[in-house]
Structure 1
């Protein structure tokens, strides 16, 4: 059965390679709009959360407005890849955009916090297809040797949106209302649909294939159980509570059943062949560890600048800007110059992770030893430079190594592991910060540290000089610990990267050899 699939698989690709440069540019422009739609949504919503809670109430469950979206989008990523391999890229990206827009309309109409959380989950189901499908379509149209420029553009879109999003969210919320941060997605999504519909001409030959409904249900249930345990553990319930242990056990059992299922299923939703590909396995591990360290540590940049360094929120955003500037510069340089001219991706990735590891270590030392902005800002910029050399080209490496029949699900699964690593990093760093703060409170109860650390910036500003200095020291050392942990995690990613096979980048869309 397998040889038949491999012989038939290249046919759809060959139909799409007749695309001329004008078509490719139009499609990629439409995909950039799609990516911007998903990337900017999270930062806009985060800015509007205080206004949302003032209107809808339910502050104790406010984090679920973000968590429901992230859980839904992460869980559905592999499914979009597999379905696009079976039914084509165009129908699936249409479905992803329309589901995202439906969730946006419903979220804007929400009258209670529970409704908003449910509708954000619907929005997340659509968002789960935006990034992987955009990368898959670019992979179909552009050969690996010329794909770095486009992957760099994707990274630039995410970086720009992370800066523009909070500003746009604040303006829309102040001038109109928080409901419009969701409605604004409609005209942007409509433009993206029209552009992709007109420009994307390639056809996909639909085959009568068995649909692995059971595998899709098992994969989604296993992933959701695991992500819920991460999101709720240490927050809603203790890590050793029956609820978290039950979710963890469910994820483990469902995962085992899923593994047995895909080994026996003729057309599994996640092909086991993917995990016999050495490059694919190492790429997933490297990206998961990189995002785990990056998001786990950089999440606390605003807290550090505002709580420890005493700057305003707007100034705090300005101080984190060098991270994104460095990321955009190195992403564009890597894709447009280094990858395209040399045809090699691993040397730049090794340099990037080495630079990121050194930047993390420098930041951990600078924060722990109370250094000023002149010492802290350069490694923030260097961190962005390093990460920009790693992330965009890893997708190119994976697409170059996988056969066409598995390109869609492989690209989506890579994005899934990247998001999963980020979620683990955020959860783990939050637990580290909470542990360090609680431990410091236990040894400083005479200064009223508990009320200070829970009270936020206003109460901290009104505290006595001695208590103020003690609270700042608590946060300083706790945040330094998260960066020290990030150093170790990114260092592990660097070690894993040493074992990544490097294949010559193909200048055409043929299947080519793949490492096993």
Structure 2
């Protein structure tokens, strides 16, 4: 694996870095926010545009397009230069946002959301690749911690902002709000970001690789979303999706081994640390989305919390994630060491997941919040190191493709994790309702997919009790599965090689002596 010389990271002042970062952070916030901001607006959107049967595609189209385009944008940045491709992705995202806001029917909305997602894939991987080229890994932790903090902030702020906009303006502004923020980010990047165009040879684009990637990734996401819910596991639709996923993945690997400029250079996975960091990214995506998607179910349906403020219910998990990311960023910058943090994170995450398997209908809000604090610290100790290790394991030449692969794995973890955990939750909930309430429980399952928390208290006492136990049993199942994934993350983290972060220089002996004397 080629190594990157420190000379490839020219010295930049803190002021220059912070100026560029302001545009990058706004861009990252836009991409992450649009995963969650649309949720509170969905009922109003359906009321305006109709098409209830296609509602899930408003979310799926965005997520799927983001996942598919991530690797392509990363490679285009390697080939054509990061500044130009990054700005192109911002423009595409803003065009998609404007068109989505102007949609007149559900089909237009879904199509424009996919266009928006194509741009979003370039925003996420562009930020990570630019940061990877702008700052040496040894100094990157203190800056990158800020970016890792954006992810939980977006997950928390998205539903709150989306709900406020829907209640006080129009759902269309959930998309229009991207335009002024995106314009600021675009202007900042235009005037402040200056990176060398490292590719000097003939440019070829791996279109066959991109095409096969689109097919197998789409089939895999749809398989995770539909299996056991919209279609039975043994149905021809699910079998066909599985065949497409496997077949086109094999074709994708064969193509990437032969083309001159693969969209995903497979040799990056020959680096053990990079391959392990990718596995961690997948688990982190699964853990984050699983907790964020299903914890509010317990808090609203069992503990009686308000659905309007559901985003605030995740604060005990989000704040530790942010704090852990910032602390680890500072520590890696000072010490140049990174291996210990994913080991600690994997252990804490496993403990946090196991805590949630013990929830019951009488679990207090204080106890649940304490579980969330542990879970948040575990995720926070994994997010920052997994990205930093991945960046440290690839050359500048492959930074875009490498960050694209890492981001792609995290996105797939979020999509597949949510779908698989959703199947576990639904199955256990349904079984418990049937066991405790018989025919009445079965009827509640058939008619209660949109059962609002506000009407739970109007149900007969037997049904309320059955629902509370069903939700609790479903949540426990989700976190038993999450515990297994977290344990895998812990085991994976033990195999990281302890390598020095590029660009790190230990203090000279005379400097250490001066520091001791100063104390």
Same fold (TM over 0.5): yes
Once the two structures are overlaid, the 10-residue window that deviates more, 207-216 or 116-125, is 207-216
Aligned match for 1:407, one of 399, 402, 409? 399
- Matching residue of 1:474: 470
Give deviations 1:108-140, integer Å, cap 9, x for gaps.
111111110111000000001111110111111
1:379 aligned to 2:375?
no
**Does the 8 A contact of 2:146 with 2:326 survive in 1?**
yes
* Per-residue CA distance 1:176-212 (angstroms, 9 max, x = gap): 2111111111111111000001001223144322222
Q: Residue 35 of structure 2 aligns to a residue in which SS?
A: helix
Deviation at 1:266, TM superposition (A): 2.2
The equivalent residue for 1:505 is 501
Identify the match of residue 247 of structure 2 among 248, 253, 256: 253
Distance 1:497 1:118, change over 3 A: same
- The question of whether the paired residues in 2 share the 8 Å contact of 1:262 and 1:272 is answered with yes
* Contact 1:279/1:500 (8 A) holds in 2: yes
Quote the offset at 1:14 in angstroms. 5.6
Counterpart for residue 512 of structure 1: none
Cα distance between partner residues in 1 of 2:504 and 2:400: 17
Q: Which residue of 2 aligns with 1:432?
A: 424
- Contact 1:172/1:181 (CA < 8 Å) preserved in 2? yes
Q: Is 2:70–2:122's contact at 8 Å kept on the other side of the alignment?
A: yes
Q: Which residue of 2 aligns with 1:419?
A: 411
User: What per-residue deviation string (whole Å, max 9, x for no partner) do you get for residues 375-424 of structure 1?
Assistant: 22112011111211111121111111212221211111011111111211
Give me the whole-angstrom Cα distance separating, in 1, the residues matched to 2:459 and 2:439.
Answer: 10
Q: Pick closer, same or farther for the CA change 1:47–1:444 going to 2, 3 Å.
A: same
Assess if the C-alpha contact under 8 Å between 1:290 and 1:489 holds in 2: no
Distance in structure 2 (CA, Å) of the matches to 1:344 and 1:249: 43
- Counterpart of 1:164 in structure 2 is 157
Match of 2:260 in 1: 266
The Cα RMSD (Å) is 2.0
The Cα offsets for residues 414-467 of structure 1, whole Å up to 9 and x where unpaired, read as: 111111112111011110111112222332454611233442235532112122
Measure how far apart 1:287 and its partner are: 1.9
Q: 2:73, 2:404 within 8 Å by CA — same for their partners in 1?
A: yes
For the residue of structure 1 that corresponds to 2:257, the secondary structure is: helix
Gaps of 5+ in 1: 510-516
1:42–1:291 Cα change, 3 Å: closer
Deviation of 1:159 after TM superposition, in Å, equals 2.0
| Separation (CA, whole Å) in 2 of partners of 1:67 and 1:59 | 14
Name the residue aligned to 2:228: 234
Q: Retained in 1: the 8 A contact 2:322–2:380?
A: yes
Q: Which runs of 4+ in 1 moved over 6 A?
A: none
Match of 2:119 among 126, 130, 143: 126
Aligned partners of 1:167, 1:481: CA distance in 2, in Å? 28
Are the aligned partners of 1:100 and 1:122 in contact in 2 as well (CA < 8 Å)? yes
Cα gap change, 1:268/1:446 in structure 2, threshold over 3 Å: closer, same or farther?
closer
Q: TM-score normalized by structure 1?
A: 0.92
More deviation, 15-24/91-100: 15-24
Superimposed CA distance per residue, residues 37-82 of structure 1 (whole angstroms, 9 cap, x where no aligned partner): 1122222211111110111112222111011000000111111111
| Cα pair distance change 1:315/1:215, threshold 3 Å | closer
- For the residue of structure 2 that corresponds to 1:129, the secondary structure is helix
CA distance in 1, matches of 2:98, 2:401: 29
SS at match of 2:34: helix
Kept in 1: contact 2:437–2:466 (CA 8 A):
no
What TM-score comes out, normalization by structure 2 length?
0.92
Partner of 1:194: 187
Partner of residue 339, structure 2: 346
Unaligned runs of 5+ in 2: 506-519
Q: Which residue of 2 aligns with 1:322?
A: 316
**How many equivalent pairs are there?**
500
Q: Distance in 1 between matches of 2:37 and 2:395?
A: 38
